[in-house]
Chains A and B, each alone.
Chain A
């Protein structure tokens, strides 16, 4: 259904152009005066020295959530790799040592040069193992290989950086780790 937009014809003041020019000039003057007299209120930040504030929901670099005993939560189901539109996730699973769990992940690679940061892998994960809330937005490496994040990189995060997230506190070093470890250690009937 095409929507017809009726444009109002310009009135004679607008068609004179001079007054509209003056309006535009006043706008830029306002901004220029703000920059000159209130330099500190400019919305821009001096980037590398001043870092932007990033929301929790921002889709940044990935991380793998951990169980209380420190093993990755990933069960190597491959649903994230299947969901990935850029085919940048490579997973190899193997038999888990824990009898309660069928598989564990042996290789988990994410190629950040191919990744489009859509977040579909996070949505697809059935065990909430993959997240993109690290707030790391700058990737700088020397070689292409270094852009591939391996399992060791993905589980290398500190629970202290996620103080508001209860799931992150369950991991070793977190505030709820001890309690969670007790629960985790119980035999599953």
Chain B
């Protein structure tokens, strides 16, 4: 008994309380891809609308007493759809394998909580705490085989499709799952090979090392442009969305492997797909767009000038708020001049947005001025490098996280953009592209990178 207590105490005492706190708090980052679902669904629906010169879903509203109707720029529609899916009856077709049938939708969704564990969300936090120097890695699991682990976990989502298709006892679902699996597996080969060039340059499988290398050399997109394009195409194909949505074909396969699913089981597939997009865009921005690294500024410079960095951040946020205000004001003016019968209701809602955006602008401007004047942290020199207090470390982590999210949102947009632009490929074209074109380009890229790296004398 005492032995166990000692062992536990040894583990507990191996870190200070602040290290434990941050290490546990980092698990909250597992929920980031789930939040991406909330972002991606409205982005997809309204983005699709805008590309087709429509307005997109914007009619549902919440009625607030004494104020009016809140449409939240069309966001309420997604809440309504989610509620509808949630309260629908779960139905299992006759002859389906009940256990596997009900298990399958959970797999892709559950994986969205596992994959972010290896993602580096911010640079390694190094700060002085009391007398000691604490160092906490930016990923939940700081593994030396991070990339492999990430691909390993995310490729498990193919099981969701396989089991769903097999357990549904429907030929459409079965054929759809076959196609999905074949495509996912073949494009994962391409993904891995595209990545090899970059890994060759970095010389490490650790994702934090990859980002560090990009921060101090060049971004992956500059070092490996061909690999970037191939990786992007392969990743879009791997998520199984248009133009590579061969698993779902209205005329031949109905909805692919989730044909027989309804209600929230379908919702899980749907959310899993969107979370997968979120994860893939996080992955691409980590591997090719410098991850959490702020463009043109190294973490050391940023920490040395924390006040100015925070000022710049607040300035960017204030600019965004002002841009939003500009859009709202212009639209309200046009609406007020129109003959639309419900304009009073909408203008009432916009008054609220104006208020919120003005308050946000003021807060950001005040924050910018305050941080420029007052934030000037001191540092201690440890091993020849300056180390700051916990405030600077947390600030750096937040900025890193925001930068990573901003970069990945751009890639989320690419997914939606591509889906609503390009016509879908035929199945044999997809396979041709994967095995005969992208794979060869990736191989060539690897060889060329290896030769150049050897000649230049890199790793």
A-side interface residues toward B, CB under 8 Å?
21, 24-25, 27-29, 31-32, 34-37, 39-40, 42-44, 46, 48-51
Contact = CB atoms under 8 A, between A and B. Distances in A.
28 contacts: A21-B421, A24-B421, A24-B422, A25-B418, A25-B422, A31-B51, A32-B47, A32-B50, A32-B51, A32-B417, A35-B46, A35-B49, A35-B50, A35-B51, A36-B50, A37-B327, A40-B331, A40-B335, A42-B50, A42-B54, A46-B55, A46-B58, A48-B341, A49-B340, A49-B342, A49-B343, A50-B340, A50-B341
A27 B52 CA distance: 11
Interface in B42-82: 46-47, 49-56, 58
Contacts of B335: 40
B436 interface: no
Nearest to B56: A35
Contacts of A48: 341
A25 B417 contact: yes
Interface string B311-351: 00000000000000001001100110011111100000000
Interface residues of B, number: 27
Counting chain B CB atoms within 10 Å of each CB, the highest count among A31, A34, A43, A51 belongs to: A31
The 10 A-B residue pairs whose C-beta atoms are closest, nearest first, are A35-B50, A40-B334, A50-B340, A49-B342, A28-B421, A32-B50, A28-B51, A49-B341, A32-B51, A40-B331
Contact of A34 (B46, B50, B56, B58): B50
Contacts of B330: 40
Given A21-B422, A31-B52, A44-B55, 12 more contacts: A21-B421, A24-B421, A25-B418, A25-B422, A28-B417, A28-B421, A29-B417, A32-B417, A35-B53, A37-B327, A39-B327, A42-B53
Contact of B53 (A36, A40, A43, A49): A43
A71 B432 CA distance: 76
Contacts of A42: 50, 53-55
B158 to A, nearest CB: 27
A28 B414 CA distance: 11
A28 B327 contact: no
Interface in B280-332: 327, 330-331
Interface in B329-381: 330-331, 334-335, 338-343
Contacts of A51: 339
Nearest to A43: B53
Nearest to A51: B339
A51 B330 CA distance: 21
A39 B56 CA distance: 11
A110 B327 CA distance: 48
B365 to A, nearest CB: 23
B54 A25 contact: no
B339 A50 contact: yes
A40 B56 CA distance: 13
B395 to A, nearest CB: 31
A32 B49 CA distance: 8
Counting chain B CB atoms within 10 Å of each CB, the highest count among A29, A35, A42 belongs to: A35
Contacts of B213: none
Contacts of A29: 417
Contacts of B55: 35, 39, 42, 44, 46
A46 B59 CA distance: 9
Contacts of B56: 35
A23 B334 CA distance: 32
Contacts of B340: 46, 49-50
Nearest to A30: B51
B420 interface: yes
Counting chain B CB atoms within 10 Å of each CB, the highest count among A25, A27, A36, A40 belongs to: A40
Interface in B370-397: none
B170 to A, nearest CB: 34
Nearest to A53: B339
Contacts of B50: 31-32, 34-36, 42
A44 B54 contact: yes
Contacts of A43: 53
A29 B69 CA distance: 31
Interface in B406-446: 417-418, 420-422
A70 B338 CA distance: 36
A46 B341 CA distance: 10
A92 B175 CA distance: 64
A100 to B, nearest CB: 45
A49 B417 CA distance: 30
A51 B342 CA distance: 12
B382 to A, nearest CB: 47
Contacts of A34: 50, 53
A27 B343 CA distance: 31
A47 to B, nearest CB: 10
A10 to B, nearest CB: 16
A45 to B, nearest CB: 8
B53 A44 contact: yes
Nearest to B345: A49
A50 B338 contact: yes
Contacts of B58: 46
A28 B420 CA distance: 8
